[in-house]
Amino acid sequence: MHQFDAECAVCQEAQREGISHDEAMSRALIREAHMIEQTGWVAHVISDAPLAHTHGCNETYGHLDFEVRLPASPIMRYDLLRALVEAVKAGQTFHAGVESPTPFQCPVRFVERQEGDRTVLRAILPDANGRWPGETGCQRGFNEQLED
């Protein structure tokens, strides 16, 4: 079942190529495994929803994968994930419940979330006014970062 009523890339490929969902998923997993082998990780960025996450960090770097849920462009969400992975590759570690300095211009908080059958760290960022989710006046999209 898809979140946000979004049609995923696998479903789009199945429809475009006239193949079954299982065949499209098999192709996607092969492509993903190749990318992880080449780069150590891969990102899934949902273009019409505020969600993006990584795969491969745990296996490659011994670190939980990351997730962001932000009202930002798909490219910006990918760039945020990439910066976090680059920090991990450089030796930094992130933990749930800890506010961490990051490559960004602001601190980031992390919470553990379940993404399918795995645990990921969701990066929580303050809004442009420095307000965190749950604080009075936090901008709507940023305030929804803790939602599933």
- Which tens digits make up the pLDDT trace of 124-141? 999 989 999 999 999 999
User: Are both 66 and 138 inside the same structural domain?
Assistant: yes
User: Are both 18 and 69 inside the same structural domain?
Assistant: no
pLDDT on residue 7: 60
One-letter identity of residue 36: I
pLDDT on residue 8: 65
Indicate if the alpha-carbon torsion angle 44, 111, 65, 104 is positive or negative. Answer: positive
Region class of 97: left (phi > 0), else alpha (psi between -120 and 50), else beta: left
Element (H, E) at 135: none
Residue linked to tokens 């930002």? 72
45 within a domain of the structure (yes/no): no
Q: Indicate the pTM of the whole model.
A: 0.83
44 within a domain of the structure (yes/no): no
User: Are both 69 and 134 inside the same structural domain?
Assistant: yes
User: Are both 104 and 127 inside the same structural domain?
Assistant: yes
Q: How far apart are CA 71 and CA 62, in angstroms?
A: 29
Element (H, E) at 109: strand 108-115
User: Are both 33 and 82 inside the same structural domain?
Assistant: no
pLDDT on residue 68: 95
- Number of other CB atoms surrounding residue 54 within 10 Å: 28
pLDDT under 50 in the chain at which residues? 1-6
User: Are both 97 and 24 inside the same structural domain?
Assistant: no
User: Are both 78 and 131 inside the same structural domain?
Assistant: yes
- The domain total for the chain is 2
Q: What is the DSSP letter of 145?
A: T
